[in-house]
Structure 1
Amino acid sequence: MDDAQRDEPQSGTSGTATPFAITEAATFDAPWAMAFLPDGRLLVTEMAGALRLYDPARNTTGTISGVPEVSHVAQGGLGEVVLHPQYASNQRVYFSYVESGDGGLLGAVVARARLVLDDSGGGALQDVETIWRQSPKKSGDGHFGYRIAFDAGGKLWISSSERKEFDPAQDMGTNLGKIVRLDDDGSVPTDNPFARQGGVAAQAWTLGHRNILGLAFDGSGQLWAHEMGPMGGDELNRIEKGANYGYPLVSNGDHYDGKPIPDHATRPEFRAPVITWTPVISPAGFIIYSGDMFPAWKGNGFIGGLSSMSLVRVEFNGETAREAQRFDMRRRIREVEQGPDGAIWLLEDGTRKGKGALLKLTSTRR
C-alpha cells in the first residue's frame, strides 16, 4: 500500500462532540490548497491546473488565468498557494506545481507571480517566474511534498519530499527529502546550515524526511512539520537547523512490503519526532491557530487527516506536543486554513471522487 491508497478509516479513530458548526460553502475539482486574500476572498488550487477565486460574501467562484502548464499525476499537480508577506504592496503570490522534463520525468516547482484581479470575480497571474525546482526529476508520480510557508523575516520555506525513492532523503547531492529555506527570490541565504557545500545542498535546512505535507510556524517563530510515515509512523517534527530526521534509516513505521525499519530510539543521533501515529492519520494541511473565534485553541495546531477522515487538534508545550482531540469529519481532509474572522476552513480531498467540498467551521459556544 502506498500513500495514495490510504483510503479506509484507520482503527483507533474516534469521533467526539464538535464545538463548531460545519457549513459547506462550495465544491471544487480535486482541490489541494487555499489562501485568503486581504479582502476575504479565497484562492483555491485544483490539482488539474486551475486556480480559483472564491468569494464567501457572494458565494461566487471565478478563475485566475496564467497558470503555467501543470502535469497532473496521482499525487501531484497544482499544489500550494501562499501570499508574499508584503502582498498588500507587491501583489505577489507563490505557488507550487508538478512539471515534466525530458523522458517524462517529473518534479515539483515553486513559482511566483503578480496577481491582478478584475471586476468580474477573476483575474490573472502576470510576470510568472520559476524560482525553485526539485533536483533531480524522477519517474514516479508521488511524494512531491511542495508545501510553502513564509516566516516572520520573509524567508521562504519549501517541503521537498523524497519522491518514493527512500535514499535521496540522506543524499546531499539532491534537494529531495529536505526542508528547503530560501530568500523570497529563490536565492540561498548565506546562513543556511549547508551553505558552504554549494549546489542544492546549500538550499537545505534539514534532511531525512519522507513525505512532508504540512508546515506551520508557531507564535514564537518555531517551525513545525508533519509527514506521512511508511506503513505506520506518521510524524510531527520540531524543525531545528541542520538536523537529520533519519528517514529511511529510522522510522516508527515499516516498509509496505513488511520489511522492518529500525525505530528512532535505536539511532539517537537522528532527531526523533515529537508525535508519531500508528495507526496512521495520513496528515495533510496544517495551521497553528491564532484567531479569536475559538479562544481556548489559541496556539493549538490543526492537522487534516486523509485516511483518518479527521481533524486532529495538537497542543504544544515548549519543545513537546501531544494529540489533544480528534474530530471525526467523515471526509478525507486535505487542507486547513484560518479565516480572517477566526473561523477554520477545510478542503475535502477530491482525489478519489473528483469533487471536494470547502467547509467552514464556526463556533457554537457563546
Structure 2
Amino acid sequence: MKNLTEQKLITAAVAAGWDTNAIKAWKKIIKKEACKRSTADLLLQLEQIGSDSYTRLFTKSRLLPMEKLELVLKQMQAQIDQNGFLQLAGDYRLSPSMPPHGRFLKLFRKAVRQTFLPQGLRPVYQSKRKNELAIKIHLFRSYLDRHNLWYVRQYFPGNTDWEKLQNYQRQAKVKFDYSTDARLHNRYLSNQDFTYPQNMKIQVTKWRRMSEFIVNLETGKFVSEWDFYQQQANGNINADLAGYQVSAGAAVANTGSFNYGLPKGKYAWLLRFSHSHQLLDVKHPTDPQLRYQFNHAKASHYYWKSPQTYLKDSKGGYADIVKKGPVDFLAWQQVPLDQKKEIYQAFVVSCRKRLPKKNPGFAFFWQHYQTIY
C-alpha cells in the first residue's frame, strides 16, 4: 500500500513535467513527510507553486531557467485570450503560505533575469518560443501581484490595507522601501487637471524591491486592477473593454505589479542588475488591451495620463508625497482636504528650490511650513 502511495505521488510529479533531479528531491520529501502527511496533502504541496516542497523541486531541478519559467506557466495552464489577457486554469495555484518576500519569488525573478537579460522582455527574438514566453512572463506579473495583495489582506489584522501592510512588515521583520518614484501610479484623466498625488508606493524589501504595493493616501486601501476586474462564471477574467468604463478605471491605470528587475532607488547602484528594471519592467511587451487602452491617447476618448515630474520641467507638477514612510503618510493626512491642492503646490515649489538635492518627503516640508505659517 505504501509503495502504491509513493508511486502515485512520483507519477504526479513526472506528469507535471519535473526532471530527474527534481524527482529525486521529491522522493526524499515523500520519504520524510509520508508518515506526517496524507497523500492528498502531499499532492497539494506539489500543486501549490511557492510551497516549501514546490520550491525544493524548483531549486533542485536542472532544467534551464527558461524551461523552469515555461514549466510554471504550463502547470498553471496559462493562455492569452483574444483580448491579450493571460487566463489561468487547472489545479495548480500559487501557495497561500507564500509571502511577498518569499524564496520562490526570488528564485522565479532570478530565472527571469537569467533568461531575458541583457536584451530584456520587449525585443523580438529569433525564437518564436522565447517571444511567446516573454509576453506570458510579463502578463504573469499581475498574478504575482494579486497573490501578494491577497496574502496581506488574508493574514494580517487592520482596519485598512495600509494597517495590514504595516502589521505584515512588523511580523515578518522585513524592511520596506519608499524611495522609488510613484508617478506612474498617479495617473489622472486626460480631460481633467492634475491636482496632487492620490497614491504612494511601497516595495518589499528595502534592498530587493521585488513585490510592490500601491496605497491610496486618503483611504489606506490598496490600488489594484484586481479590485476592478469582473470574474466570469468559468473563473476567467472579463477582459473585454466594452464591459468597463474608462472613467472608473483608476485602479487599472495605477495598479501595482511585481518587479522582475530592480527599480531605481536607494542602493541601486550597488547591485549588479541595477539597470534591469527598464529592461524587464518598464520596456515590456504590450499590456492587455483593457489596460493599454485605459493608459494611451485615443482621438475618440480620454484616457489616464501620467503627470510630469518637477525634475524634468520647471512646469512639471509631480513630486512624491511619501519618501520616508509612515511619517510622510501621517503628515499628509493632517492637511485639510480643502487646503491640499494649495499646500501641495507649495511643497512642489520647495522641492524645486532644493535641487539638486532630492525630495525629502512631505513630513519635512510640513514641519517647516507649519513653523512659518
| Shorter-chain TM band | under 0.3
Question: Normalization by structure 1: what TM-score?
Answer: 0.23
Query: Quick check: which has more Rg, 1 or 2?
Result: 2
Task: Select the structure that is richer in strand.
Answer: 1
Q: Which has the higher helix share?
A: 2
